[in-house]
Amino acid sequence: SFKITIKGEVEMNYRIEKKEAFRTIGISEPLAKEIEKNFERVPRMWDKAAVNGTIQRLATLMTEEPIGLLGVCACNEVDNWRYYIAVASKQPIESNFEEYIVPASTWAIFSGEGNNQSIQELEKRIITEWLPTSGYEYADAPDIEVYLNADPENAKYEVWIPVTKNEN
C-alpha cells in the first residue's frame, strides 16, 4: 500500500509583474541572522511605529505604487540585513526617515487577507509550496509586504517575492 499527500489545499492567488526600481522612505532596524528572533523583533517595530505616530506620518507621504504601508525585508547583502517600514514616495525625506531604493525586478505577487499571523503563514506557503514547483527561483531583491488596509485583525495585503525564471 502507499499514501500520497498533496500540500496546498487552499489555492494561492498570485500574478507575475515586472516593476521598475522605486524609492521608499521610512524607518528601519537591523534584522537578526536567526530568523525566529525577527518574528518577535518585526511585530514590536510595527507596534512602536503605530503608537509613536510614525505609521500615520508615513501614510501622508505615500505618492507612488505600490499604494500601502510596506514592510521591506532587505536581506540581499551578507552582513547588512534590514527591515523597513516605509511607503513608496517621491516626497522629500524628513529628518527621522531614511530612503531605500527597491531595485527593478520581476515579482510574484500573492494576495491575502486575515490577521498578522496569516501573512506569516502565506509567506511560509510561498516558500515551501509554490516556489519549488513554480518554474521560478528567488531573485536578488528584497521581499515586500504591502498592507492595503490598516486593520491588523482584518488585514488585506500582498506579499511580493522577487523571482527569475528557472533556466532548466
Burial of residue 89 (CB within 10 Å: 0-12, 13-18, 19+) is: buried
Helices (H), the chain: 35-51, 54-61, 116-125
Say whether pTM exceeds 0.75.
yes
pLDDT tens string 48-85? 999 999 999 999 999 999 999 999 999 876 678 999 99
Which has more pLDDT, 130 or 36? 130
* pLDDT of 63: 95
Distances (CA, A) of 129 to 12, 43, 85, 123, 152: 10, 25, 27, 10, 25
Scan for cell 485583525, then name that residue: 153
Alpha helices in 73-158 (DSSP H): 116-125
Highest mean pLDDT among 16-25, 119-128, 134-143, 147-156: 16-25
Specify the amino acid at residue 125. R
Residue closest to 116 by CA, chosen among 24, 45, 32, 25: 45
pLDDT in tens, 96-129: 999 999 999 999 999 988 876 788 889 889 988 8
Nearest-Å Rg of the Cα atoms of the chain is 17
Distance of CA 7 to the CA centre of its chain: 23
Helix (H, G, I), strand (E, B) or coil at 36: helix
Q: Please, which pLDDT band fits residue 94 given cuts at 50, 70 and 90?
A: confident
